[in-house]
Amino acid sequence: MVDAKKYPAPVTNPETAAFWDAAKQGKFMIKRCTACGEAHYFPRSICPFCYSDKTVWEEASGEGTIYTYSLMRKSPTGPYAIGYVTLKEGPSVQTNFVDCDLDKLKIGQKVKVVFKPTDGAPLPFFTPA
């Protein structure tokens, strides 16, 4: 399936620049706190769980399962499926599902990350594994 949709380029900022730099290398990064051990997404410098500033970047597997989704049928740019993926590493991330038959998505389905180009850094999406 050809995905001709034009996606906006991330603005980026000092706190998240490393995520987008890694995305350019095809790597999907999460943050992990070395104080409490919890991983989180989207990345913050201060752990949202224990407030430690000892958070580090970690390359995620890019694999997960669909927590939920909704197929948006009324859109000027055509139907799209928004949802959340629960990563193998734990955190759930908001995304769109791409390169697949959107009518066949299922909660619990295994998916993997795929990057789509923008005019800046590429954006992470998910597709059936």
Confirm if 107 and 66 have CB atoms less than 8 A apart.
yes
CA distances from 44 to 56, 88, 115 (A): 10, 19, 21
- Select the residue interacting with another protein from 29, 60, 62, 96 (CB under 8 A): 96
x/- site string to another protein, residues 61 to 80, per CB under 8 A? ------xxxxxxxxx----x
CB 30 within 8 A of CB 50: no
d(CA 97, CA 5): 13
Q: Min. distance of Cβ 6 from another protein in angstroms? A: 10
Binding site for another protein (CB under 8 A): 7-8, 10-13, 16, 20, 38, 40-42, 44, 48-49, 67-75, 80, 82-84, 86-87, 90-96, 107, 118, 123
